[in-house]
A and B are shown apart, each in its own frame.
Chain A
Amino acid sequence: MSHYEAPIREPLVLGDKSYHDITEDIAKPIEGKANKNWYIAFYISLAAMLWGFGCIFYTVGTGIGVWGLNKNIGWAWDITNFVWWVGIGHAGTLISAVLLLFRQKWRMAINRSAEAMTIFAVFQAGLFPIIHMGRPWNGYWVLPIPNQFGSLWVNFNSPLLWDVFAISTYLSVSLVFWWTGLLPDFAMIRDRAVKPFQKKIYALLSFGWSGRAKDWQRFEEVSLVLAGLATPLVLSVHTIVSMDFATSINPGWHSTIFPPYFVAGAIFSGFAMVQTLLGIMRKVTNMEDYITRMHVEYMNIVIILTGGIVAVAYATEFFIAWYTGSPYENYTYLSVGAATGPYAWAFYSLLFFNILTPQILWFKKIRRSFIWSFIISIFINIGMWFERFDIIAIVLSKGHLPSTWWRFEPTFVDVGIFIGTIGFFFVLFLLYARTFPVIAQAEVKTILKSSGEFYKKRSEQGIPTKPAIKIANLEGESDKKDKE
Chain B
Amino acid sequence: MASNKKYWQSVEELKGSSIVETLSKKEFVEEIPTDDFLGDKETLENSSTSRRDFLKYVGFTTAAASLAACEGPVRKAIPYVVKPNDVTPGVADWYATSMADGYDFANVLVKTREGRPIQIMPNKDANGTTSARVQAAVLSLYDEKLRLQEPSKGGATITWSDADKEIAAKLNELKEANKPVVLLTGTMASPSTSKIVEEFIAAYPNISHVVYDAVSESGAADAMLAMYGKRTLPNYHLDKAKTIVSFGADFLGDFHGGFEKQYIAGRKPETGDMSYHIQFESNMSLTGANSDKRLVLKPSDQVFALLNLYNIITGSNVPSKTTSVDADVNAAAKSLQKAGAKGVVLTGLNDKNAQLVALAINKALNSEIIDVNNTLNVRQGNDTEVAQLVSDMKSGKVAGLISYNVNPIYSLSNSSDFSEGLKKVELSVALSIENNETVDASTFALPTPHFLESWGDTQFDQVTYGLMQPTIQPLFNTRQIQDVLLKWTGNSVSYYEYLKGFALTNVLNGASWNTALHNGFHKKEILEVEETTVSDIVISDVASQLLKSTKASAFELNLYTKTGLGDGKQANNPWLQEFPDPLTRASWDNYLTMSIADARALGFANPVKDNGAINGDYAKVSVNGKELVVPVMVQPGQAKGSVGLALGYGRTFGLKDEMKVGVNAYTLYTNGNNIQYNVSIEKVSGTHKFACTQVQKTIAGRHDILKVATLKEYNSSADPKHSWNKPAFVSYDHNEVEASTINIWDEHNREIGHHFNLSIDLTSCTGCGACVVACHAENNVPVVGKNEVRVGRDMHWLRIDRYYSSEVETREEAKELGLSRGDTYRALETEAENPEVTFQPMMCQHCNHAPCETVCPVAATSHGRQGQNQMAYNRCVGTRYCANNCPYRVRRFNWFNYSNNNEFDFNMNNEYGKMVLNPDVVVRSRGVMEKCSMCIQMTQVTILKAKREGRAVDTDEFETACSSACTTGAMVFGDVNNEKDQVATLAKDKRAYHVLDYLQTKPNVVYQVKVRNTNEA
Contact = CB atoms under 8 A, between A and B. Distances in A.
Interface of A: 62-65, 68-75, 129, 132-136, 138-139, 141-142, 149, 152-155, 157-161, 164, 244, 247-250, 327-328, 330-331, 336-337, 339-342, 396, 399-409
Given A71-B793, A401-B887, A142 B857 contact: yes
Given A71-B794, A135-B927, A409 B609 contact: yes
Contacts of B331: none
Contact of B877 (A65, A70, A134): A134
B612 interface: yes
A158 B854 contact: yes
B611 A407 contact: yes
A336 B879 contact: no
Given A160-B855, A401-B889, A409-B609, A340 B825 contact: yes
A408 B696 contact: no
A74 B927 contact: no
B811 A134 contact: no
A65 B857 contact: no
Nearest to B611: A409
B636 to A, nearest CB: 15
Contact of A134 (B705, B880, B888, B999): B880
Nearest to A328: B702
A69 B889 CA distance: 14
Contacts of A64: 878, 893, 895, 927
Contacts of A62: 896
Given A63-B895, A72-B792, A74-B883, A133 B878 contact: yes
A139 B927 CA distance: 12
A327 B926 contact: no
21 contacts: A63-B894, A64-B878, A64-B895, A65-B793, A68-B791, A74-B880, A133-B879, A153-B859, A155-B856, A155-B858, A248-B884, A327-B701, A340-B826, A400-B887, A400-B888, A401-B702, A402-B698, A402-B829, A403-B694, A403-B696, A403-B803
Contacts of B887: 249-250, 399-401
B869 to A, nearest CB: 14
B927 A63 contact: yes
B894 A154 contact: no
B603 interface: no
Contacts of B372: none
Contact of B884 (A136, A142, A396, A405): A396
A72 B894 contact: no
B888 A405 contact: no
B754 to A, nearest CB: 24
B632 interface: no
A403 B801 contact: yes
A136 B696 CA distance: 34
Nearest to A163: B857
B996 interface: yes
A132 B925 CA distance: 16
Contacts of A141: 858, 875, 877
B857 A158 contact: yes
A365 to B, nearest CB: 39
A244 B897 CA distance: 28
B376 interface: no
A399 B889 contact: yes
A401 B802 CA distance: 11
B700 interface: yes
Interface string B884-904: 110111011111110000000
Chain B CB within 10 Å, residue with most, of A71, A129, A248, A408: A71
Given A64-B893, A403-B801, A249 B857 contact: no
Chain B CB within 10 Å, residue with most, of A327, A396, A409: A327
B851 interface: yes
Given A132-B880, A134-B929, A249-B1001, 15 more contacts: A62-B896, A64-B927, A75-B884, A135-B876, A135-B925, A157-B854, A158-B857, A158-B881, A164-B857, A249-B885, A336-B825, A406-B612, A406-B695, A406-B792, A408-B610
Interface string B322-344: 00000000000000000000000
Contact of B855 (A248, A401, A409): A248
B537 interface: no
B821 A336 contact: yes
Contacts of B885: 248-250
A407 B610 contact: yes
B148 to A, nearest CB: 35
Contacts of A161: 857
Contacts of A408: 610-612
A406 B695 CA distance: 7
Given A71-B792, A71-B794, A250-B884, A138 B896 contact: no
B608 interface: yes
A142 B928 CA distance: 15
Nearest to A138: B877
B886 to A, nearest CB: 9
Chain B CB within 10 Å, residue with most, of A157, A159, A404, A409: A404
Contacts of B854: 155, 157-158, 247
A134 B792 contact: no
Interface in B920-948: 925-929
Contact of B999 (A63, A249, A327): A249
Nearest to A251: B887
A71 B884 contact: no
B227 interface: no
Contacts of B897: 63
Contacts of A149: 875
B896 A63 contact: yes
Contacts of B927: 63-64, 133-135
B762 to A, nearest CB: 14
B84 interface: no
Contacts of B875: 141, 149, 152
Given A68-B611, A133-B927, A336-B825, A401 B801 contact: yes
